[in-house]
Structure 1
Amino acid sequence: MKINFKEDWKLLSKRAAIFYVIFTIVNILTFILLLTQTDAGFVSPLIYLVFWQVAIWVYYMFRYKYRKNVAGGEWIDAGMFAIIAATLIRTFFIEAYQIPTSSMEKSMLRGDFLFVSKMNYGARVPMTPISFPFVHQEMPVIGGKAYSEALKLPFYRLPGFQKIKNNDIVVFNYPYELITQNSFAHPTDKKTNYIKRCIGIPGDTLKIVNGKVYINGKATAVAVHGQSSYVVQLSNTLSFKDYEKLNISEIDQTNGEGSYLMQLTKQNIIDLKNTPGVVSIQPVVDDYNATVNLPEYCKTNKWTVDNFGALYIPQKGSSIKLDSNTYAIYETAIRLYEDNLDFRMVDGLFYIGTKQITEYTFKMNYYFMMGDNRHHSADSRFWGFVPEDHVVGKALFIWMSIEPEDNNTLFHRSPEGMKRYSKNIFSRIRWSRIFNSIH
């Protein structure tokens, strides 16, 4: 097949030609950005440029040069443009996300659908650019990976409007997938998305005392809708309507008669104290337990979810002196996140490769994330720091909220709850949460 670019170009419609020119400009700018602002070298950016440029051109030649054999060509054009535009918006501007667990209640609820801004902290250039549109990890129905690792790009983030601040609600890629050495571990930008509150930023020193968080020695404000575990003693049983009025849904009965374990906000506690039949409200503070599912260094230091630290959160360019304790705390960050796979401790001495070191200087910034539902959240207390290359974006607002069918608290298992939260999706929409901002 003879290729004549000048003649083939004339076959394109005006709209297709404009789109191809715009796409080419964006593609070249991306190539220059990758070449000058990252450590990708020359070959990977060139492959990226050529692959997408050729792919779009081949499509247009198939579409216009052989259009007699293509039915509904205009619809195909429109569909392709929509897919590309939506992919660019999802990658660089804004993306939809669903709250999958109760770890952020009551700030955010299971079944909340929200938009996440990629622009606030700066959009992350795709590290695995060859992937199926609108699919994160695995292909629907047929299964298998929805991306190819044939081309990998190093981490680079475009300039953003702001830096991550203490108490921002952040979406990030779950780093623990790498720690567990899962045989089907995903690349960084394809790991499972998590959402938590950023409690500590780079350079902070964090400490938790009896459930109270201190940053650099100063107590932090509890999230307005954050909740923790309390044992509530009742002299008489509260009704479904009582709990609904109090806005309390996570309730489980303990072994004691009239004793209930509840997840409560500050407002819940105030309201309960004014409720007839409430005898006492006692906070649950975890004591040290060697079997608790925390990292080994927590057991060594006798840290718990409610009494944790002091812990320094690494900042890019900062250094730590190495000893057996700092090795245990920062080994994952140094070895896995900063790609020093041969970092090790031998007879009390520390090595990267054959070089003995006594301190380490961090290459990236790190963050400490916690859920607002403090006793029902697997977060940085359990699996450590979140590296900056795992940050996806900032949570903006809720655009839809639907009560899940599978909530299994005492509240939802009650006859009234079963009736209220039936399979009728319209009865499960939380209308009051739609378009609520997130803070």
Structure 2
Amino acid sequence: MAKKKKSFIREWLEAIFIALIVVLIIRSFLVEAFMIPTPSMEGSLLTGDFIIVNKAYYGPRTLRTPLSFPFAHQTLPFLSNVKGFIHTGILPYFRLPGFGEIKHNDIVVFNYPLDDDFPVDHKSHYIKRCVALPGDTLNIKNSSAYINGSQLENPEGVQFNYAVKSINNDPAFFRNNSFSVGGRHNAANEFRVPLNAQMVQQLSLDEEILSIIKTFDVPGAYQDFVFPYTEQLRWNIDHFGPIIIPEKNHSVKLTSSNIYLYKRIIEKYEGNELEENDGLFYINGEIAESYTFKMNYYFMMGDNRHYSSDSRFWGFVPEDHILGKASMVMFSLNPQQSNLKKIRWDRFFTLLN
């Protein structure tokens, strides 16, 4: 008896279903596209860049939240008030073998550690540059990272804050010349402008510019929004550390003077109950003089050093939050332009390093 031929509609539905499965596998384990929404990585990545993230390079992370709607992240498509997942049955962290390890100055995409209302794989996506690895001793001086006593080479496009004094009192002068303005500095005609070395050279040739001075907070000028939020350390975004980045299987002695560095790791990232009573620490009900880390941790910073929310503000990034390595800009759209002017033609298929 002849086999009944499938209908045209059924063939198309099967083809679409198979295609969706293939795309889902590629998106989950190999590569995924993201758009850069903020200027925190300028001048390496621009707002409006569409980038490819290589999930296979560090090893693809396996599914953590099985009850998730396919292709949804935090909410369902077109239903912003409906979650795209059910926060139950969370699977343990596991990562398949990859092609390499995270290195200093890699551009990394990861889940934002402080998004506690979401499972790890549904937390917001962040992109920063990794400046410190597990076991490193990190010190930040004048917004530059020093690793184990030696300065880490700054990326070519890294931007710092400058006080730029101009004959022109209108900040539109800078915007019209593709410079961001962070606000007035002191004098009426002096502005805070994030610049990289090339921009500094360009501005210095302009006859309307009177002076360009790099600005930093001074050491010891405590900022209460800087991790780990204690006046004992008196750290700020320009002068931070020294601090040892937690490393898997390494132990740290717990004291009243360092517990604020590791409290979130112990409780939130590694799932323990921590209590302090009469100068003693209790982990899961038992006295603990030290703690051994279960995961590796990383320290991330944006290339736009004075306009980036990064590890200086919220601390370490756990290894189970790492998504992949940013490898290429596919194309780029300037949100401040319209029509064909939006397209940044020179950024098509730009490799990242």
Asked whether the two chains share a fold, i.e. TM above 0.5, the reply is yes
Counterpart selection for 1:430 from 344, 347, 351: 344
TM-fit CA distance, 1:214: 0.5
What amino acid is aligned across from residue 107 of structure 1 in structure 2? S
Q: 1:131, 1:146 within 8 Å by CA — same for their partners in 2?
A: yes
TM-fit CA distance, 1:380: 0.5
Q: 1:404, 1:428 within 8 Å by CA — same for their partners in 2?
A: yes
C-alpha RMSD of the superposition: 2.3
TM-score (norm: length of structure 1):
0.75
TM-score (norm: length of structure 2):
0.92
Counterpart Cα distance in 1 of 2:286 and 2:4 = 60
- Bigger CA radius of gyration: 1
Counterpart Cα distance in 2 of 1:205 and 1:347 = 31
Q: Which residue of 2 aligns with 1:114?
A: 51
Counterpart selection for 1:161 from 85, 91, 99: 99
2:301 counterpart of 1:370: yes
Distance 1:12 1:230, change over 3 A: farther
Q: 2:157, 2:197 within 8 Å by CA — same for their partners in 1?
A: yes
User: Which fold has the larger relative contact order, with Cα–Cα distance below 8 Å and residues 6 or more apart in sequence?
Assistant: 2
TM-fit CA distance, 1:349: 1.1
What amino acid is aligned across from residue 129 of structure 2 in structure 1? R
Counterpart selection for 1:148 from 86, 90, 95: 86
Counterpart Cα distance in 1 of 2:275 and 2:221 = 28
Counterpart Cα distance in 2 of 1:291 and 1:318 = 30
Q: How many residues align?
A: 350
Counterpart Cα distance in 2 of 1:388 and 1:356 = 27
Counterpart Cα distance in 2 of 1:385 and 1:11 = 61
Distance 1:76 1:230, change over 3 A: same
Describe how 1:21-420 pairs up with structure 2 within 5 A: 72-142=9-79, 143-178=81-116, 185-236=117-168, 248-250=179-181, 252-287=183-218, 288-290=220-222, 292-340=224-272, 342-405=273-336
Look up the SS of the partner of 1:127 in the other structure: coil
Distance 1:89 1:147, change over 3 A: same
Further displaced range: 351-360 or 285-294:
285-294
Unaligned ranges ≥5, structure 2: none
Unaligned ranges ≥5, structure 1: 1-9, 14-63, 179-184, 406-420
Structure with the largest fraction of helix: 1
What amino acid is aligned across from residue 146 of structure 1 in structure 2? G
Counterpart Cα distance in 2 of 1:241 and 1:259 = 12
Counterpart Cα distance in 2 of 1:308 and 1:117 = 31
What amino acid is aligned across from residue 320 of structure 1 in structure 2? V
Further displaced range: 121-130 or 228-237:
228-237
TM-fit CA distance, 1:330: 0.8
Q: 2:58, 2:102 within 8 Å by CA — same for their partners in 1?
A: yes
TM-fit CA distance, 1:292: 3.8
Structure 1: which 4+ aligned runs deviate by more than 3 Å? 10-13, 235-245, 249-255, 287-292, 295-298
Counterpart Cα distance in 1 of 2:170 and 2:89 = 59
Structure with the largest fraction of strand: 2
Instruction: Work out the percentage of aligned pairs sharing the same amino acid.
Output: 43
Look up the SS of the partner of 1:198 in the other structure: strand
Q: 1:83, 1:133 within 8 Å by CA — same for their partners in 2?
A: no
Counterpart Cα distance in 2 of 1:90 and 1:250 = 37
TM-fit CA distance, 1:369: 0.5
